[in-house]
Structures are given as C-alpha cells and as structure tokens.
Amino acid sequence: MQITDQKSLLSKEQLSLLKRCAKKTFVLGRYHSLDEILTKLNVEVIIEPGIQQRSIPSYLEESEKYWIDRLEEITDRDSMEFTDIRDDIRIIRREKELWRNMPLRGLYDPKNNIIKLFPEEMQTEYNGKCMDELLVSTLAHETMHAYFNRPRHKRMPYVLFVEEPLAEFGMLLYLKETRSSYYGWAHKDVSSKKTCYRYGAALMDQYLQGEASLRDYLKSYKIQLEDYVIPSCWNGTISLPQSGLSGSIVVGGKKVIPQWHGFFYDKQTETLGLDGDWRGRCVFDFMQERGRIYSYEKLKNIYIADGFRCDGHAYTLFSEKNVIVSPNNKTYKQGSNDIPLLRKDNTPCIEQNVDGLYKICRNGLWGVVDKQQNIIVPIKYGFVYTMDANELIMVVCPDFPPCQCGLVNRQGIEQVPLIYEQIAIKSDGTYRVKKSGKEYIIDKYGNRIH
Ligand SMILES: [Zn+2]
C-alpha cells in the first residue's frame, strides 16, 4: 500500500496504525487484506489537508429526474408502481437534503484511482478524540469503493443507494473479522447516520443473524443493476437489488422480464416474483400491504427466484397458487404430487399440522399429506384442523354453512362421521359434540356415551 502524507498531517503512530490494520487478514474475493486490494489495484492513499465541502452527488440529482420522468409516464395513479416511485422520489429528496451537511472524511476518486483521507475534518468530529477509529474505518470504507471499481467492473454504474451502504457494510465486516476493537464504535457511528449509509449497519446485523448471501453480494459487487435503483427497506430489513442481467423468465408460456426490487409483479401473467430473505417478514402481510395490486385472488403464479428463502408464514399462500421455482434456488425445489414447493431434502414446504404431517390446500379444498408427500387425509374438506391427543384430525364439510364436522384418523378414515355442528375434545379423551342444538358426549370411535 502506498500512502502519501506530504504535509505530515498524521503522526508516525497513526501512519503505522493504518499500515498495520491494512495488512490484517481479510478475505474479499481473491484478495486477502485491504493492503492487497490497494496494492494490486494500484490505488494510492493520500493524506489531504483541509476540509472538503461536500456537494450533493450528481447521482441524486440524476436519479430524482429519472424517477420524476418515469412517474409522469404512469397513467394509473392508484397503481403500486406509481406509489412505489413516488416513495422513491421522497427518499431521494430527503437524502439530498441530508447530504448537504455531511462531513467528508475521505473519498475514492475512480478517475485517478486514489483514496484521499481528510484528518483535519476528522479532528472536528467526536472532539478530535476518535482519530484512530475514523482513520481506520474511513480507509476501509474507501478501500471498498476501490474494490468495487476493480478493472472488469469499470463499466458498471455507481449506484449510490447500494454502494454507500455496502461500503459501510464491508468496512464493518472488515473490523469484525479482523477482531478490531473499533468495531463497536464504528457500528454505532454508522447506525447514527441519517443518510443511506446507516443501511450498512442494518446489513451487518442481517449478516450476523444468518443472511450469509450478503457477503457474496459484497464480494461480487459491482453487478449490473437497473437505473437508479433504491434498495427496499421493510421494517428495518434491507433488500439489496438483484442483478438486472438475470434475464427473462417464462411463466405459462409467456416471457416475463422481471424488474427486481427484491420482488416483482407482472400484470400480464399475474405473477408475483419473490427473491431474497423473508425470514421474520411475512409474504402474506406483504401481499396485504400491497393489496391493491397483489390481491390474493387475482394472483395466479408465484415465481421463486434464486435467492428466495422464507419462514413458515408464506406456505399457505404457496399451497393455493401455481408456484414456479427457479432451478438455481439453493433452498427449495419444484414440488410434485400437488405440493408446490419442496425443500432440498424433499420435505414439503407447507404449513405443518403436527410433526411430519402437513396441511395442504388445492382449489380451495383441504387435506393432509405426510413428509413423503403421501396423501393422508384426502384433499376434499372445507378445512382440516390440527391433530388432537387421540391422533384424530377434525375436518369440516366443504359446503358449510351449516357447519358439519367429523374426525379423521391417520389412515384417512372418517372415524367419526361428519354429522356434528361442533366437536371439542375433553381432557379425558372423549368429545363434547353438538347436533341439532343438543349436546352429547362421544368416544373417539363416535359411540355415544351420554
Ligand atoms: Zn463512500
């Protein structure tokens, strides 16, 4: 790493700190340290005097204009696209406001392939007491930009809303993985920012909570992204946009060119495409939130993209729609035997009834299948309930009201016929039932006791 400090703005200790930290092992792509990234990419680090006035990046001006133009093209003002773009413009305008007063600790100049650090600016922050933290974290942040700009990625666009949070994420990852004592400070510093930089701390949290794909995203960045994309932030969870080069997909014989923003909706084929990590997020809630377009009834197909993973909440939804799974998805594969989605170990990806049994819905009718996808309770009921202590499943006639229910056993046999308006299990294993307004007690074989 070549570091130039002509005006001797840094002490000997500070210079050697930077060099020492840059040498620490940190694997990113084919590089093994910040030092290696900077050396192999021929990036010079310059310690620059003075305080640089930050101007609003042209990217923000351009993207605001781009989205305003796009908004004007949309005639349907109730459409989700319209709402989304209007929200994006709001985010860009707020960001522009915030960038006006942001201190410039450092920068990466891709044209001259240099990193500049501004220690005199850093002196004005934290009462000048965090120089070491600021120097090291800024060097790491700018090194990320240099890494993103490695030769074969030169032609990819700079996407501010992705690259800045990602540079912060990379910086935090570097501090964490080199066991730096500055990590806690830096995480707090990033979290406290008001601009999109703060997403970097959220990404780090998501990574530590198991979203391992974020490290791959960082490693392979830059990727080809749509023009002026903004990553979606949903309940504090950041979904980074996927590569626009993923190309078209075919749904029901029709070609769809998805505009991924973590998800897409294609009106023509009534397809909702889902990508990214949905743990802790519920696809169903998402559908309701975006209800005007992704109305549940209207939706025909669900396309599961390469990176899609989710928790239990989405399974009911999947069991009622036509699901198409990308063959490259790491977690799921296309199901069979009426089960739309299977995990890679072949277990059904639908709501569990009890251990090893699953509730399945087809064309509005419900049944139960086992782990091997054998049908246990035929798919012909209005609803199936959870298996009780007698290993019986309450089922309801499909054409209720009036409600007529009975009990089905593990062999799928109706052990108690569907003649009761109500059935409730008691603690002694008998059932309190109601028929024509009268109450009885029956045993688990349907014999009347009282
Ligand atoms: Zn930056």
Per-residue pLDDT of the chain (450 residues; tens, 9 = 90+): 999 999 999 999 999 999 999 999 999 999 999 999 999 999 999 999 999 878 888 899 999 998 998 888 888 888 777 888 899 999 999 999 888 877 899 999 999 999 999 999 999 999 999 999 999 999 999 999 999 998 877 777 889 999 999 999 999 999 999 999 999 999 999 999 989 999 999 999 999 999 888 998 999 898 777 778 888 887 788 888 876 555 678 888 887 877 666 678 888 888 888 887 776 666 767 776 666 556 777 788 889 988 788 876 556 667 778 889 988 888 888 887 678 888 888 888 877 778 889 888 887 789 998 888 889 999 999 999 989 999 999 999 988 677 899 999 999 999 999 999 999 999 999 999 999 989 999 999 999 986
Q: Are residues 265 and 376 in the same domain?
A: no
Residues within 5 Å of ion ligand 1 by Cβ?
Answer: 167
Judged by phi (left if over 0) then psi (alpha if -120 to 50, else beta), residue 210 lies in left
- 151 strand-pairing partners: none
CB of 135 within 8 A of CB of 17? yes
Q: Are residues 325 and 187 in the same domain?
A: no
Q: Are residues 229 and 248 in the same domain?
A: no
Q: Are residues 34 and 146 in the same domain?
A: yes
- Structural domains of the chain, count: 3
Q: Which of 283, 317, 343 is the last residue of a domain?
A: 343
Distance 439 CA to ligand 1 centre (A): 72
Distance 1 CA to ligand 1 centre (A): 19
* Within a domain: 262: yes
What CATH number corresponds to the domain at position 153? 3.40.390
Dihedral sign for Cα 172, 174, 176, 182, please.
negative
* Within a domain: 84: no
- What's this model's pTM, rounded to 2 decimal places? 0.58
Residue 348: is the preceding peptide bond cis (ω within 30°)?
no
Q: Which of 343, 366, 387 is the last residue of a domain?
A: 343
* Within a domain: 407: yes
Distance 373 CA to ligand 1 centre (A): 51
- The pLDDT, as a whole number, for residue 278 is 75
- The pLDDT, as a whole number, for residue 313 is 55
Q: Are residues 250 and 219 in the same domain?
A: no
Q: Are residues 280 and 336 in the same domain?
A: yes
Distance 124 CA to ligand 1 centre (A): 19
Distance 195 CA to ligand 1 centre (A): 11
Q: Are residues 131 and 150 in the same domain?
A: yes
Encode burial over 306-336: b for 16+ CB neighbours within 10 A, e otherwise.
bbbbbeebbbebbbbbebbbbeebebbbebe
* Within a domain: 72: no
CB of 249 within 8 A of CB of 303? yes
Among 38, 202, 156, 53, which residue's Cα sits nearest to residue 108?
A: 38
Q: Which of 233, 257, 273 is the last residue of a domain?
A: 233
* Within a domain: 73: no
Distance 108 CA to ligand 1 centre (A): 7
Domain housing 421? 357-442
- The pLDDT, as a whole number, for residue 393 is 95
Distance 164 CA to ligand 1 centre (A): 5
Which are the contacts of 191, defined by CB distance < 8 A and separation ≥ 6?
198, 201
CB of 203 within 8 A of CB of 166? yes
Q: Are residues 153 and 211 in the same domain?
A: yes
Distance 222 CA to ligand 1 centre (A): 14
- The pLDDT, as a whole number, for residue 289 is 67
- The pLDDT, as a whole number, for residue 280 is 62
Distance 107 CA to ligand 1 centre (A): 6
* Within a domain: 311: yes
Distance 146 CA to ligand 1 centre (A): 10
DSSP assignment of 385-421: ----TTS-EEEE-TTPSSP-EEEE-TTS-EEEEEEES
Q: Are residues 21 and 134 in the same domain?
A: yes
Q: Are residues 323 and 189 in the same domain?
A: no
* Within a domain: 60: no
Distance of alpha carbon 4 from alpha carbon 264, whole angstroms: 48
Distance 117 CA to ligand 1 centre (A): 12
Question: What are the tokens at 148?
Answer: 């993103």
Q: Are residues 438 and 293 in the same domain?
A: no
Q: Are residues 40 and 134 in the same domain?
A: yes
* Within a domain: 250: yes
Distance 140 CA to ligand 1 centre (A): 10
- The pLDDT, as a whole number, for residue 293 is 56
| φ, ψ at 245 (rounded to 5°) | -85, 0
Distance 144 CA to ligand 1 centre (A): 8
Distance 167 CA to ligand 1 centre (A): 6
Distance 68 CA to ligand 1 centre (A): 25
